[in-house]
Amino acid sequence: MCGGQFDSQDEMDSHAKQMHSNKDEQEEHSIICSKCGMKAKSPQDLATHGQQHSTSS
């Protein structure tokens, strides 16, 4: 993340929410494969990933 050192998980979480909750990260995390839960970086990335599910089995 930013290399900061924290005494506890709670401190790190609150820090991350305040300092690293930018819009790009939220958009990135909103595209998720419904079959395996993988986080895609873009709709195109998700489409390419989805082909792997349809070809196997």
Residue (27 or 36) nearer to Zn ion, CB: 36
Residue (2 or 23) nearer to Zn ion, CB: 2
Per-position DSSP letters for 16-42, written without gaps between them: HHHHS--HHHHHHHH-B-TTT-PBPSS
CB of 14 to Zn ion, least distance (A): 11
User: Which position among 31, 33, 45, 46 is part of the footprint of Zn ion (CB under 5 A)?
Assistant: 33
Q: Does 47 bind Zn ion (CB under 5 A)?
A: no
Q: Does 12 bind Zn ion (CB under 5 A)?
A: no
* Residue 49 burial (C-beta neighbours within 10 Å; 0-12, 13-18, 19+): middle
